Amino acid sequence: MKEKRIQSQKELADLVGSTEVMISRFKTNTRYDITTLFIINRGLKNVPMKNLFYVQEIRGRAIQQN
């Protein structure tokens, strides 16, 4: 949001054509799916998708592979 000088979640929701609730859930990492990520990314046009999230390494846990 800082890159685009967006001041509020409502402003971001309006920009990407979504709801403030969806943006809030995304920002707090609760109850969103990959579609949310793509909707926000599409609305922010020049912001790389990797800037919308971070990866946290969890040590001591095995990663299940299918």
Domain boundaries, the chain: 9-50
Cα–Cα distance between 11 and 3 in angstroms, integer? 14
pLDDT of 2 over the 70 cut: no
- Give residue 10's pLDDT: 92
List CB contacts of 49: < 8 A, sequence separation 6 or more: 37, 41
List CB contacts of 59: < 8 A, sequence separation 6 or more: none
Average pLDDT in the chain: 77
Q: What is the pLDDT of residues 35-61, one digit of tens each?
A: 888 888 888 887 888 787 666 666 766
- Give residue 6's pLDDT: 83
CB atoms within 10 A of CB 45: 9
Percentage of residues in the chain with pLDDT exceeding 90? 6
Q: What is the pTM of this model?
A: 0.59
